[in-house]
Structure 1
Amino acid sequence: MELLRVVDKLGNDTNEIIEREELHNRGKLHNEVTIYIINDKGEVLLQRRSKNRRFCPNKLGVIAGHQSYREDILTCAVRETKEEVGLKIKKEDLHPLCDKYLVEEKYNNHYMYPYYVICNQKAEDFTIQKEELSFVRWYKIEEVIRLIEVGSKEVVFKKDEIRLFKKLLEVTKKDEKESFFLKIKKLLEVN
């Protein structure tokens, strides 16, 4: 049984703890995280959800999960990353992609806390949670944006999530520039 914390419209804890299925059935507001793993090549790691998943089976998505009643949001992100793809990260590795935002759906009303992590591991070196995932693969961020723009049924992302992938693109471009200047600086220091 997975117990979750109910939050109010401002995202504050209400001190109410409910089992996950009941929480969804009653449309109660709660917290969730998404973790976008990006690499130095301007790619994001997507995972194919298992065909046995209740929501969005066989679709491509990113790491996501519910905040347990016992954990803070960063601990949740660390746990979900380890559970889903076997990547051990620390809280300090997580970078907020943007502020939390409200997602209102029929059964799943929640505040989403999006984070990104930089990792250059090969896709085949991740250890996936077989009950939840079929595989993971690196995708060019621009490719994911195009899939969302055309309304592809291949991905779980909604049109308004394009902004998150555009932010990821900015992050990778910024990192490319910083990396370039660091290389130049090191070359100049050697001479």
Structure 2
Amino acid sequence: MDELVDILDDYGNYTGHTCLKSEAHLKGLFHPTVHIWFYTNKGQILWQQRGAQKDTHPLLWDVSVAGHIGAGEDMAIAAVREVQEEIGLEILPSELHEIGFFKSVHKHSDTLIDKEFHHTFCCELKVSLHKLTKQETEVEDLKFIEIGTFEKRVEQNELEGFVPHDLSYYQVIVGALKKRL
């Protein structure tokens, strides 16, 4: 779905300009997104397998929930909206715990350049996997991976099958989730 997004400068500051998400991707303009990492009190991370029809990284395992922040939209409200859309879970903004703000650049093709700043949160998942409802156009599958298991994969840089985020990003995520347990 094409939506209006705010345009950011190279440092993540709002420029006061907006454009359609498709134009931001075509021109390689920075724009804001949200990432929400769900974890369980048993030390598991919820992973989303991206839909087969996605333009970027189809069928790779990725952050529990992610999406674009609409122009003028509050980032916590965007996070809550994306969680409801992608996995059918209703959460409150107060359940989100900020992890950080990450710059990401991926040139997929000459007409698709992802230049984003990810506002990244974690949230405890308090329901079982079968209570979640996958958004058919976005999510192929959901699964849990033990934090320690994923941490070892990160340490050994064995991330085949996962979206190629910077290794340092995954290290920060693992550290933040371990602190929540």
Same topology, TM > 0.5: yes
Structure 2 CA distance for aligned equivalents of residues 52 and 146 of structure 1? 30
Q: Is 1:151 aligned with 2:158?
A: yes
Separation (CA, whole Å) in 2 of partners of 1:74 and 1:101? 16
Deviation, structure 1 residue 101? 2.2
Q: Superposition RMSD on alpha carbons, in Å?
A: 1.5
Question: Which residue number in structure 2 is paired with residue 180 of structure 1?
Answer: none
Equivalent-residue separation in structure 1 for 2:104 and 2:42 (angstroms): 30
Q: 1:157, CA displacement in angstroms?
A: 4.3
2:88 pairs with 1:86: yes
**Cα offsets for 1:25-59 (capped at 9, x unmatched):** 11111111100011100111101111111111111
Equivalent residues of 1:147, 1:155 under 8 A apart: no
Q: Distance in 1 between matches of 2:40 and 2:164?
A: 20
2:129 aligns with: 123
**Equivalences for 1:1-191 in 2 at 5 Å?**
1-62=2-63, 63-98=65-100, 100-106=101-107, 107-148=113-154, 149-158=156-165, 159-160=167-168, 161-172=170-181
The offset of 1:65, in angstroms, is 0.8
Identity %: 25
Structure with more strand by fraction: 2
Supply the AA of the counterpart residue of 2:178.
L
Q: What is the TM-score normalised by the length of structure 2?
A: 0.88
Are the counterparts in 2 of residues 96 and 115 from structure 1 also a CA contact under 8 Å? Answer: yes
Residue of structure 2 in register with 1:187 after alignment: none
Secondary structure of residue in 2 paired with 1:97: strand
TM-score (normalised: structure 1): 0.83
Q: SS at 2:106's partner residue? A: coil
Closer, same or farther in 2 for the Cα pair 1:147/1:138, shift >3 Å? same
- 1:109-162 Cα shifts (integer Å, max 9, x gaps): 121111011122111110110111122112111222233333322111432222
Given residue 86 of structure 2, which amino acid in structure 1 is its aligned partner? E
Using the alignment, how far apart are the partners of 1:36 and 1:156 within structure 2? 14
Cα distance, 1:167 vs. partner?
1.8
Q: Is the 8 A contact 1:97 1:114 kept in 2?
A: yes
- AA in 1 matched with 2:161: E
Residue ranges of structure 2 left out of the alignment (5+ in a row): 108-112
Distance in 1, matches of 2:52 and 2:23, equals 23
Q: Which amino acid aligns with 1:95?
A: H
Task: Tell me, yes or no, if the aligned pair for 1:48 and 1:134 is still in contact at 8 Å.
Answer: yes
Q: Identify the range of structure 1 (145-154 vs 131-140) with the bigger mean alpha-carbon deviation.
A: 145-154
Q: Deviation of residue 13 (structure 1)?
A: 2.1
> Higher Cα Rg: structure 1 or 2?
1
